[in-house]
Chain A
Amino acid sequence: MSAEKLIWVWADYRNYFQSRVTLQILARASVLAEKTNAAVCAVVFGDKVEAYVKEYIAHGAQKVYVTDDPSLRTYNVASYAFLLTALVKRFAPETLLIGATRFGQEIAPRVAKQLDTGLTADCIDLDIDEKGQLVQVAPAFGGNLIAKIITPHTRPQMATIRPGTFQELPHDDEAKGEVVPVPLPDTMPSPRVRCLKSELHPARARKIETADIVITGGRGMGSKGKFRKLFDLADLLHAEVGATRPVVYADWVSSEALVGQAGKHIRPKVLFSFGVSGAIQHTAALADARFIVVVNKNPNATMMKLADVAMVADANQVCSGIIRALKQRIRD
C-alpha cells in the first residue's frame, strides 16, 4: 500500500448527462490534488468499460481502478456499495467524491455508513483549508443558506457534487494514466434487491425542470387566449412554459405546467415571468433561476423584487413586444 495521498472520484457514466458530472469532478479534483500533493483517481465498475477508462484519463485521472465484469452490467446500489467500500478499505483514499446524481446520492450514504465516515450532500464547491482538510460547501434550505462542512476525524472525506458545478477539463488524448484492474471478489452480497427492468427513458414531463429557458405566466396574462401567446414565445426561445396555481385552476393550461411547491421546481438560466404576483409557493420553486426577467403592472409585486430586469407594464403587451423583437433579432 502506498503512502501517496489519493483523491478518488467514483465514475458515474450511465448516460451522457451523468458522464459529464464525473468529468467535472475530475477537473476540480485536479485542483484539490495540486494543493495537497495528491493523485487524482477514478473508480469504474461495470461491464466492458474500457472506453470510459480512457475518457477519464483524458480528463485528468492519473490512476483508474477498474472492476470489469459482466455481472456489473446494470447499476446496483448494494453490490456497487459493497465493492466501493472494500476498495476504500484497501487503498485508503483521503477523499472520495461522487456525482450527486440520484444513483450517486443513493450509493454514497451507504458507503459512508459502512465506513463510518462523514458525507456531505450535493456540494456546490470544494476547497482545501490550511490543515489540508477538504472543505465541503453545501446548500441547505432551498439554497437560502450555505454551510461549510469538514470531516475532521474520519477518512475518507466524502461528498457528493451537484452536476454542473465545475467545468470539465479539455479532452487530452496525450494524457497518461495508470490502470489498476481489480478483480471481482469471490463473495458478493446476496441480491436482496432484484432489478426487473431498467430502461433509459428521458422524461418528457421533466423538461421544464431542466430547461435552460422557462417562461412562467400568471393571472396577469389576462385570459386563456392571451396565455397561449406564451407558447408562441416559447417556440421562439426554445423555452418551456410554466404557470402559477390560479392559472392552472382557471384551466388556462394543464396542471403539468404548475411551477410551485406542489408542482415543478425549475432552475433555468433565464426565466421570463409574465403577470405573476409571486406567492411564496411559487417563488420557492424558482429559487435557482439564474437571470430573471419579470413583467408586471404592479411595481410592488413580490415577483418584481426577485428580478434582474423588472418591467412595469402589461404582461400581455410585453409578451407580444418580445415576440416581435425576437423575430427581427434571431439570426439563423
Chain B
Amino acid sequence: MDCNPCMKHQLIRKTVQEFAENEIRPRAAEMDKGPGFPEDLMEKMKPLHYFGLQTPAHLGGAGLDSTSYAIVVEEISRVSAALGLCFTVHNSVGIYPILRFGTREQQQQFVPPMAAGERIGAFCLTEANAGSDAGGVETVARKTDHGFVLNGTKIFVTNGGICGTILVFAVSDTDPAQSSVFIVENHTPGFSVGEIEDLCGMRANPVASLFFEDCAIPADHCLGTMGQGLKIGLSALDTGRIGIAAQALGIARAAFDEAVSYAKARQQFKKPISRFQTIQNYLADMAVQIDASQLLLYRAAARKDSGRPFSAEAAMAKLHCSTTARMVTNLAVQIHGGYGYSREYDVERYFRDAKVTEIYEGTSEIQRMVIARDILTRPA
C-alpha cells in the first residue's frame, strides 16, 4: 500500500531503505545482543542528517516534515526497532521541544551538536512513582542565584547510556504544582548514569536510570520559561507518539514480510503452509491491520504538517500501530512455529521488540484516555 504518493516522500523512503538494508540489517541481530550501537554505524549516519530529521537546515538538520520523519523512523525500525527508537527519541523528544519551546539562544547553543549527532538527546519524565501521571514527579529544581540545582532519579530513560543532552522534567522545590523542563548536559557535575536496564526487547538501546545529585545548571538551561513543564511534556508526547507509531508499524511490517515468505517456503503435508486457510486468514488479518495502521499514522503526520491539532490522531495512530505490532509479531512467530521461538530467526526479536510500543510514550490505556477526552470535548 502506498500512503505517500508524493514523489518526495517516496524518495525519502527509498533513501532510508537503501541505507537500512545495506548498513543496518546485516548487524541488527548482533546489535540485539547487547546495549549500545556500533560506533561506525552512528558515524555513517551523522552526515546523512539522521540525527537532525526535523531540525531546520540552518541548525544543521534535514528540515523534514512530519510525514518524512515518520517514514524514516518506520524504515529504520523495520530493520532495527532499537535503533529506530534511538532516533525517534533523539529527534522527537530530545530536539523537538527545544525547537518548539526553546529561546533562540537555546536553539543556537544546543541544537546544532545534537543535529550533528555529536550529542544524543533524551527526555526524562518517568520516575519510580511517576509516569503518565506527571503529578507524581519528585525530581526537584531549586532556584539559586546562579541558576538551578536538580535532585532526583529518573528511570527507564531511552538512550540513557549514550545521552549527551538531556531534557529533565522537574518540579519547583517551593511549589510542587509548578513544573519545568531543564536542559542538562552529561558532563554536568552531579549527573550520572545508572546501570543499563536488562529489558525484554529493544536490547540494543541503552535504556538506563539517570541520577541528579545537586546537579547545578545555569539559569538559561530552563527550557522556554518556568512553569511550562506540563505543556512541554504533553507536546513532546504528542510528537513522540507519531514516532512510536511509526516504529511499531516498522516492526509489524518486518514481521509480516518474514511471515509471508516463510509461509510460502515452509512445506508441511507436501504443500506450502500458505495453502492452508488458517494461515491465509492470519496473513489477511495482519495485512488489514498494517494497512489501517499506515492510514492512521500518515493521517496524523499530515495533520501535524498542516498545522492542525493532531493530538487525538497521534494517539489513535500510536494505539493502533502498537496493537498491530504486537498482534502481527505474535502471529508471525506462530506461523514460524518452533523456528519462530528461536533466536536465530528475526521474528523472535520483532516479537520482543513489539510489546513495549504498547507501553512507552503513554500506554495503550493512556492513549484511549486521550482519544476519549478529545471525543467528549468536541463541540456538539
What residues make up the interface of A, taking CB atoms closer than 8 Å to B? 219, 244-246, 249-250, 262, 279, 281, 297-298, 300, 302, 305
Determine the distance from Cα of A135 to Cα of B22 in the docked complex, in whole angstroms: 40
Determine the distance from Cα of A297 to Cα of B343 in the docked complex, in whole angstroms: 13
Question: Smallest CB–CB gap between B327 and chain A, Å?
Answer: 23
Interface residues on chain B, number (Cβ under 8 Å): 13
Determine the distance from Cα of A244 to Cα of B27 in the docked complex, in whole angstroms: 11
Which residues on B sit within 8 Å (CB–CB) of A298?
A: 339, 344
Give chain B interface residues in 177-195, CB to chain A under 8 Å: none
Partner of B265, one of A219, A244, A305: A305
Question: Smallest CB–CB gap between B330 and chain A, Å?
Answer: 20
What residues make up the interface of B, taking CB atoms closer than 8 Å to A? 21-22, 25-27, 29-30, 261-262, 265-266, 339, 344
Instruction: Check B21 against A300 for contact (C-beta < 8 Å).
Output: no
In addition to A262-B22, A281-B21, A298-B339, 15 A-B residue pairs with Cβ atoms within 8 Å of each other are A219-B29, A245-B26, A246-B30, A249-B26, A249-B27, A249-B30, A250-B27, A279-B25, A279-B26, A281-B22, A297-B344, A298-B344, A300-B262, A300-B339, A302-B265
Partner of B30, one of A250, A279, A281: A250
Instruction: Check B22 against A300 for contact (C-beta < 8 Å).
Output: no
Which residues on A sit within 8 Å (CB–CB) of B29?
A: 219, 246
CB closest residue in chain B, given A280:
B21
Instruction: Check A246 against B22 for contact (C-beta < 8 Å).
Output: no
CB closest residue in chain B, given A244:
B26
Interface centre among B21, B25, B26, B266, by most A CB within 10 Å? B26
Determine the distance from Cα of A43 to Cα of B369 in the docked complex, in whole angstroms: 84
Q: List 10 A-B contacts (CB under 8 A).
A: A219-B29, A244-B26, A246-B30, A249-B30, A262-B22, A279-B25, A281-B22, A298-B339, A300-B265, A302-B261
Question: Smallest CB–CB gap between B228 and chain A, Å?
Answer: 44
Interface centre among A244, A250, A279, A300, by most B CB within 10 Å? A300
CB closest residue in chain B, given A261:
B22
CB closest residue in chain B, given A250:
B30
CB closest residue in chain A, given B27:
A249
Which residues on A sit within 8 Å (CB–CB) of B26?
A: 244-246, 249, 279
CB closest residue in chain A, given B28:
A246
Instruction: Check B27 against A246 for contact (C-beta < 8 Å).
Output: yes
Which residues on B sit within 8 Å (CB–CB) of A249?
A: 26-27, 30
Question: Smallest CB–CB gap between A325 and chain B, Å?
Answer: 27
